[in-house]
């Protein structure tokens, strides 16, 4: 069962802006990379081919404490803090050399994807739930 994952990564030049710091939008990508790595670690894929479910993001947020710069190595630590019938909520902290860079949250919802129909929230399949769990100390207020 997986409930958290640490991803170590280096800032690429294309991720920086004219001021030489990582553009704020990339922090969301880092969180998503850690999410995908967590699912792989659990033996799952968040985008299984031919799947009739999807995982749209319904709420994302970051608070920034210091910038990341080109070639800095950092860690993205992602934790599952809530699993409900139809959604999963994560918390993420980004650190560099032990210093807090940013913290964020992301909520994803399990939806049915059917041709010519709008997405509709559905219960998370048991075969997925059997591989994921809330992190120790997690919970709705984490």
Domain holding 47: CATH number?
3.10.129.10
Catalytic residues: 17
Whether 112 has a pLDDT exceeding 80, the answer reads yes
Model pLDDT, residue 94:
98
Whether residue 107 is contained in a domain is answered as: yes
pLDDT for 49: 84
51 in any annotated domain: yes
Question: b/e string for 68-101 if b means 16 or more Cβ within 10 A?
Answer: beeeeebbbebbbbbbeeebbbbbbbbbbeeeeb
**Per-residue pLDDT, 48:** 85
Total number of domains in the chain: 1
Residue 31 lies in a domain: yes
Q: Residue 30 belongs to what domain range?
A: 4-129
139 part of a folded domain: no
Q: What is the pTM of this model?
A: 0.91
Residue 142 domain flag: no
Question: Looking at the domain assignment, is residue 136 inside a domain?
Answer: no
Residue 142 has pLDDT above 70, yes or no: no
H/E stretch holding 26 reads: helix 25-41
């Amino acid at each position: 069962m997986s409930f958290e994952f640490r991803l170590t990564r280096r800032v690429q030049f294309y991720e920086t802006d004219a001021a030489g710091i990582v553009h704020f939008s990339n922090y969301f990508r880092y969180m998503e990379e850690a999410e995908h790595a967590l699912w792989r670690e659990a033996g799952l894929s968040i985008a299984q081919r031919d799947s009739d479910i999807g995982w749209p993001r319904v709420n994302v947020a970051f608070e920034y404490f210091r910038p990341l710069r080109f070639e800095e190595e950092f860690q993205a630590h992602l934790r599952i803090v809530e699993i409900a019938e139809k959604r999963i909520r994560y918390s993420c902290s980004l650190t560099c050399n032990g210093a807090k860079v940013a913290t964020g949250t992301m909520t994803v919802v399990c939806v049915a994807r059917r041709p010519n129909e709008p997405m509709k929230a559905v219960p998370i399949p048991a075969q997925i739930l059997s591989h994921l769990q809330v992190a120790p100390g997690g919970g709705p207020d984490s």
